[in-house]
Amino acid sequence: MMRLCILCDLQNAQIPVDYRRKILSLLKLGLSKTNNSLYNTLYGEGSNKQKDFSYSVYLPSPKFTKETIDLKSKRLMINFSTSDTEIGINLYNAFIHLRKQSIPFSTNNTITPQDINIVKEKQIINKKIVFKTMSPLVARDHNPETKKDWYFIHDDVSWSEILKRNLLFQLKNSSFNAPKIDVENMKIQPKAMKKTVIKLYDVHVTCSLGTFSIESEPYLLTYLYQTGLGSHRGLGFGMLDIV
């Protein structure tokens, strides 16, 4: 149960389109230095440990090309959120350890974490909340036999059902307990959303950005607010804020 905001300086204002994996590498570096046991649990060889957190990156006035993003300033902001206090404390410690260090980020560029702040969480008491995406929302249908993925966006008929299926899978591998019926009864409705395509490693992921409403039990809405929703949350997708 922790939200963090990390302000970082860049050596120059151009970053790669696939910057999310660079942020993940930064996180891994910090964890490996401050809690190698947790690092191995989350990212060690053969580990498929559930990542009960999500993150997003704020980019100042980005201009996109095919392979790079040009920023207005040489600074970016990383936001993290988790429902797991242990992970939250260790993420905080990881970035405190990296603070003021210039770390290789991409070709001819470095990133330097400067300020690490704990952000106060908003309280949820209502059964219907309007969320906005802080990072793209991925609704993924994975076929374990063919190993193929199908991605759905907000105007697909199956979008909300796929998101609920993703959530059930997330809960199955989490220490957080929620009755299946509460997820099945959840109502997800897009409000003002748009399609976007994000490069992730060598894959182009189709996803959605914008605002949407969820009607459910407050405890489950709080969990989604803290951990994010959808697939690839641990790779920089699905982080939510309350409108």
Give pLDDT, residue 110: 98
Residue 232 or residue 1, greater confidence: 232
H or E element: which one contains 209? strand 203-215
Per-residue pLDDT reduced to its tens digit, 115-140: 999 999 999 999 999 999 999 999 99
Per-residue pLDDT reduced to its tens digit, 139-188: 999 888 888 999 999 999 999 999 999 999 999 888 888 999 999 999 99
Q: How many CA atoms lie within 13 A of 191 on its CB side?
A: 12
SS3 205: strand
Cα-atom radius of gyration of the chain, to the nearest Å? 18
**Could you tell me what percent of the chain has a pLDDT over 90?**
87
Per-residue pLDDT reduced to its tens digit, 62-78: 999 989 999 999 999 99
107 Rama class: left (phi>0) / alpha (psi -120 to 50) / beta: beta
Number of CB atoms found within 10 A of residue 33's CB: 14
Lowest mean pLDDT among 27-31, 44-48, 101-105, 108-112: 44-48
Q: Where are the alpha helices (DSSP H) in the chain?
A: 20-34, 36-43, 85-98, 159-172, 180-184, 218-227
Q: What mean pLDDT, rounded, does the chain reach?
A: 95
Per-residue pLDDT reduced to its tens digit, 190-204: 999 999 999 988 889
In the predicted model, what is the mean pLDDT of residues 195-224? 95
pTM of the model: 0.94
The conformation of residue 74, written as its DSSP 8-state character, comes to S
Pairing of strands 128-133, 203-215: antiparallel
